[in-house]
Structure 1
Amino acid sequence: MTTASLRRSPARGGGRTDPPRPGRKRRGKPQHAARMAHEGLWGYAFLAPWFLGLLGLTLGPLIASLYFSFTDYNLISSPEWTGVDNYVRMFTEDSRYWQSAKVTLTYVLVGVPLELAMALLVAVVLNRGLRALNLYRAVFYLPSLLGGSVAIAILWRQLFGVEGLVNQFLGMFGIETQSWVASPDTALGTLIILNVWQFGAPMVIFLAGLRQVPGELYEAASVDGASVVRKFLAITLPLLTPIIFFNLILRIINAFQAFTPAYIVSGGTGGPTDSTLFYTLYLYQQGFANLDMGYAAAMAWVLLIVIGIFTAANFLFSRFWVFYGDEG
């Protein structure tokens, strides 16, 4: 056998392969691995502030609050383990807790659909090719930035007060005026109106979704003689269901955590007669006014579970009404 035959591959295509030479080592892999490890260390170094924030500001307090929910803790003395006493008291003894749950649930079930309906209506109007669209979009989005502030809550209390602008307008028509924020029948309604007024954020998302609806679908519907309402129900609404679902999840979570409007409008009491006693407001009262932090921690965990249940239920039922473009 010749030297040339040893250099020729007998298996595939007659290509040449050199036999391994004694003492020959592959170079480059150790250096590449070291470089990758070095870059990985730098990556973890840049992520270190995020990890510290996750542990110190999220996971740490989360675990601590879970422990405190099973204790009697007043922020001054050491917590004392009481088991499930806080949860038993919450569900069986505390009538104000159930009132706060009722008020918050009403706020969510009424305020969120009205807010999304208003946002979709304004988005459809703005999508009809208005001039200065960017200006209108900014103007309608502004309440979403300001609506959760203390200043707007104070303004809202003055607006619906005895001498507020609403009563001045109604007085022009001879309608008897009242303090809308001081009446148990209307106080919660004023906060729901404030929530609806903050429709700017979902409106911008709806407007972006409307821009993605193919125009040829509307043209085909026009050829078939479809009316404007029919086009909206048969084309616009089904294609917007993923965006409606997205906005619905975000607004429900946001509504369950509403605090500032109820605190400012009611003066921190949840009145009149607990008609604006939001869940988060009652949690604040228990934790920082009554120094019953163990009970407040238990309330916080129940709220987390309720929000999780609502979110999971929305995902579960979304298969029946949310339609995506890749579905047949």
Structure 2
Amino acid sequence: MWRDTEVSRRLQLAAPIIQGPFGSGLSSVALTAAVSEAGGLGSFGVHHLDGAAIGQTAAAIRARTAKPFALNLWLPHPSEQHELEADEFDAALAPFRPYFAELGLEPPPPAAAPWPSYEEQLEAVLQARPAVFSFVYGVPSAEALEQCRRLGILTLGTATTVAEAQALEAAGVDMLVASGCEAGGHRVAFLRPPEDGLIGGLALIPQVVDAVRIPVIAAGGIADGRGIAAALCLGAQGVQIGTAFLACRESGASELHRQALFTPQAADTALTRAFSGRLARGLRNRLLTELATHQARLPGYPVQGQFAAALKPAALAQGRDDLLALWCGQAAALLEQRDAGALWHSLLAQTDRLLGR
């Protein structure tokens, strides 16, 4: 029976389906709890939250469900940019100035610390003791992994190549996500530049399954039962689904973002550094296309993400999805459901028809 795998048994799930974690406010307590209550693993991306907010988020999820859930962090990465001098900041801001003017906004001042410290975030996750600590952009320290084992927290890393999967296994990580380049959001490579490892799921999943002994969870390009069935037939013990859950009303995505996922535009995605400074997949819109012409002048992460985020409130208020970062995977054209419960039942029914119960 496809629902009974090592992943579903270890996480005590009704089916081995994990909701992908979303950063920068796109995760929501409502969606995380809804997926967990249904029998999957709900996930919440806490990369943008400080320690106190992480604790509050975990408490809010537990107020809605007693089922397992995951908290997800970004690990520190060499690509993170140091604080810019005033003249460097002004030069970096230049490509964005027309958009701020168009929206009637003053450009943002330099931010000394755009994100909370990782050490504070990690301590908060450990104190919250979710069923799963998931992470991207690397491997946590041996000490952090040992603390998770001592607290009974399962660890879930993400790999974009076979070498990254082997590094996660060697460190003692419990399970891993093999993320094909079809996936929406950031390419979370950590051993080589992400452009060097753009491997599709059909090729990546069986190679990773053959290379490691820990359970492999497939991600990227999975939005319906056909994707689940294919991933399991390739040897995965579960799937992680992002865009299809992001499109649900329970997610933290804006109405403009969710609507865009159900338009013909959703079939046109691109990998870009325009939205955050790190390589990521999103819908091709005006912001993505025009900033691509300024690649050499763009500031990189996290300053570039700060500029894009500063555009968001006014762009939403004015209905301007052309100036929003619209994260989206390549399977968006398959989306049909706008409710997490309906999506869950559809995924189960479709996969049951293909693989049987």
TM-score interval w.r.t. the shorter chain?
A: under 0.3
Greater helix fraction, Structure 1 or Structure 2: 1
Q: Larger Rg: 1 or 2?
A: 1
Higher relative contact order at CA 8 Å, sep ≥6: structure 1 or structure 2? 1
